[in-house]
Amino acid sequence: MIDERIKRILLAIIKHCDIIEDTKKYFGNDYGKFEDNSIYQNAILTPVTQIGELVKKLPDDFRLKYSEIPWRNIAGMRDIVVHNYETIDKLILWNVADKETIKIREFCKRIIN
C-alpha cells in the first residue's frame, strides 16, 4: 500500500504521460512530423519536464524499492530540458515520448492499483 502523497505524485505522472499521448495523436505519431515541428517538440517538452520534476519528489526508499524504473534518467532528462534546451537530442526526446512514458504510465497505474 502506498501513502497518499506518493499516490498523488503517481497520478500526476500518469496525467502528464496522457498529455504526451494526446499530443502525439494530435500532431501525428511520427518522428518525421515531430522532428520538423518546433511546436510539436515544445508540446512534448513540457510534460516531460513535469514528469522529471514529479519523479524528484518521490521518496528515495520508493525509488529504491522500484528500481526497474530509471528514476535518475527521468530526473536527468528534466534537468537537460530545463538547463540545456538547445542541446536536446530530438531522437532521444522522441524515444522518451514514444516508448518510455508508456512504460512509466503503466508502472504508475500498476502501483496505484
**pLDDT for residue 1 is more than 80:** no
- Calpha distance 93→87 (Å, rounded): 11
Q: Region 20-33: what's the mean pLDDT?
A: 96
Band of the pLDDT at 85, cuts 50, 70, 90? low
The confidence score (pLDDT) of residue 79 equals: 74
78 belongs to the catalytic site: yes
Given the residues 63, 78, 105, 110, select the one marked as catalytic.
Answer: 78
CB 97 within 8 A of CB 20: yes
Residues 43-63 pLDDT 10s: 999 999 999 999 999 999 999
The confidence score (pLDDT) of residue 75 equals: 87
83 belongs to the catalytic site: yes
Query: Taking the model in full, what pTM does it have?
Result: 0.91
Given the residues 8, 16, 83, 105, select the one marked as catalytic.
Answer: 83
Tell me the three state secondary structure of residue 22: helix
Other beta carbons less than 10 A from residue 66's beta carbon: 14
Q: Across the chain, what does the average pLDDT equal?
A: 92
The confidence score (pLDDT) of residue 15 equals: 98
Q: Region 8-15: what's the mean pLDDT?
A: 98
